Amino acid sequence: MAKRTRIKDLLNTTEFNIPVTVMGWIRTFRNNQFLAINDGSCINNIQAVIDFTNTDEALLKRLTTGASVSVIGDLIESLGKGQRVEIKVTTLEILGDSDAEKFPLQPKKHSLEFLREIAHLRFRTNTFNAVFKIRHALAFAVHQFFNEKGFVYMHTPIITASDAEGAGEMFRVSTIDPDNIPRNEDGSINYKEDFFGKATNLTVSGQLEGELAAMAFGDVYTFGPTFRAENSNTTRHLAEFWMIEPEMAFYDLNDNMDLAEELLKYVIRYAIDNCAEELDFLKNRLLEEEKIKPQAERSELDLLTKLNFCLENNFERLTYTEAIQILRNSKPNQKKQFKYLIDSWGADLQSEHERYLVEKHFKKPVILTNYPAEIKSFYMRLNDPDDQGRTTVRAMDILFPGIGEIIGGSQREERLEKLEQRMDDLHIPKEEMSWYLDTRRFGSAPHAGFGLGFERLVLFVTGMTNIRDVIPFPRTPKNAEF
Ligand code: ATP
Ligand code: MN
């Protein structure tokens, strides 16, 4: 094919009266002469002007929204208002027709729900162009951040046999014929007959494997898909999502928090510096959307102000115990407005509580630490009991405005005895985990890590409100379309 120039580059050029080739999809065709072409390289279209008096009538009729075209012409400074440059077309070719009657994306605003149902076309909208450009930039920034810090990108397995975490929330991986299930004498499924000779699942986290790597490489991270069969139909949960999980040897909980805060600020800054056009578009989109909301429900800050605010402020760090105190005395608790009232130490925090702390009380990102051991995972490092005999673990959750939990992490329990005791208490089979426990047997070391939900990060930076709209092909309960 002829070499094409990206529209993004043409719109920024200062070289005029040169022949150029553009390929893209028609957004609109006006007055039989003005073609707006978009090639996905940026939100903006380029205008191509056709000399209709010298163009075949039948060809003009085929210039419909959605059709793909190749145009060759001279790039000139635009005569009209609204654009700086345009193409004076000399050759026009239609690469793929688009039936105007059937094309579902008309040049008007569509609801995000509607667009989700035509996933192949939703990429062609301005909103999703901006969202997925930002998603790309954030992914790139994550790798750049860790690369600059000397971390090793480690690929942990997608299929795992470890069922230590999130039991019941895993997707089974099996090649057993459902119509002919091999059974043990007691009637249970005989997984020895299965592909791997044992029960296997899609991973819910790469952490345990990451810990093994950290105990050799020092600083590692994973960035891959994770799967949770949790039946939570919320705007913040996906059944398939991407997670960034760094794991660092010789880190304590404070080092862990510092790294997490630095990472979040770094990638947000990267998006601000590299996605100005996209963020500006999404900012205006949000303002437009908020106009129809009552004043009280509108956000106080616009998208860019919110992002910058996040960069300029230290995240508020406090313990679970301090948070419980604040929540217990809070207005919504006293007035019984919380669905789950906070009355005693030990309660698990619900998203209404997290949002109260972040959005109402501190009005900035918050890091909660030292949760009760009972409500956290077995691998988190035990603190000594406090003066009231309560046991906490060195966990940290980072809570973001509008999002709730964006990061969950901890310093890990590196002491074999304590770890085994915890596993016994929680009835986690140690034999199956001996590959993991070996790290505590041979040169154990203090270490820490966390998991950042990538889609929750994209949600925050784009200002979108439903997590389904920041992943190209969302998987949620009862939905695996496309
Ligand atoms: P939540 O309480 O919101 O369900 P979690 O405590 O189950 O989160 P972790 O197991 O700590 O989350 O996972 C680490 C991070 O992964 C979370 O902080 C969040 O950003 C992200 N995450 C967890 N579950 C999902 C999900 N179902 N969809 C998208 N992101 C998720
Ligand atoms: Mn969860």
Ligand nearest to the Cα of 367, by number = 1
Task: Output the ligand 1 site: residues, CB below 6 A.
Answer: 228, 230, 237-238, 241, 243, 405-408, 451, 453, 455-456
Q: Please spell the DSSP secondary structure of 388-453, one letter per residue.
A: T---EEEEEEEEETTTEEEEEEEEB---HHHHHHHHHHTT--TGGGHHHHHHHHSS---EEEEEEE
Q: Is the confidence at residue 271, as pLDDT, over 90?
A: yes
Determine the Cα–Cα distance for residues 226 and 401; give it in Å rounded to an integer: 24
Instruction: Give, for ligand 1, the residue of 138, 169, 171, 237 to mutate: max count of ligand atoms closer than 8 Å to Cβ.
Output: 237
Cα 368 to ligand 1 centroid, rounded to whole Å: 15
Closest C-alpha to ligand 1, atom 30? 453
Ligand nearest to the Cα of 205, by number = 1
Q: Given pLDDT bands bounded at 50, 70 and 90, which one contains residue 216? A: very high
Closest C-alpha to ligand 1, atom 25? 237
Cα 400 to ligand 1 centroid, rounded to whole Å: 13
Closest C-alpha to ligand 1, atom 5? 408
Determine the Cα–Cα distance for residues 350 and 115; give it in Å rounded to an integer: 31
Average pLDDT, the chain: 94
Average pLDDT over residues 224-237: 92
Residue-wise pLDDT for 336-389, tens only, equals 999 999 999 999 999 899 999 999 999 999 999 999 999 999 999 999 999 999
Residue-wise pLDDT for 147-173, tens only, equals 999 999 999 999 999 765 655 689 999
Cα 236 to ligand 1 centroid, rounded to whole Å: 8
Which DSSP letter does residue 179 get? T
Average pLDDT over residues 117-133: 91
User: Which ligand 1 atom sits closest to the C-alpha of 405?
Assistant: 18
CB 369 within 8 A of CB 351: no
pLDDT of residue 454: 98
Ligand nearest to the Cα of 229, by number = 1
Residue-wise pLDDT for 200-212, tens only, equals 999 999 999 999 9
Ligand nearest to the Cα of 234, by number = 1
User: Which ligand 1 atom sits closest to the C-alpha of 408?
Assistant: 11
Q: Given pLDDT bands bounded at 50, 70 and 90, which one contains residue 236? A: very high
Cα 197 to ligand 1 centroid, rounded to whole Å: 30
Residue-wise pLDDT for 412-449, tens only, equals 999 999 999 999 999 999 998 999 999 999 999 999 99
pTM score over 0.75: yes
Give exposure, 411-432, as e/b (b: 16+ Cβ within 10 Å).
Answer: bbbbeeeebbebbeeeebeeee
Cα 84 to ligand 1 centroid, rounded to whole Å: 46
Who wins on pLDDT, 135 or 351? 135
Cα 232 to ligand 2 centroid, rounded to whole Å: 8
CB 24 within 8 A of CB 59: no
pLDDT of residue 331: 96
pLDDT of residue 107: 64
Cα 453 to ligand 1 centroid, rounded to whole Å: 6
Q: Is the confidence at residue 194, as pLDDT, over 60?
A: yes
> Smallest Cα–Cα separation from 244: which of 137, 153, 160, 149?
153
pLDDT of residue 299: 79
Cα 1 to ligand 1 centroid, rounded to whole Å: 45
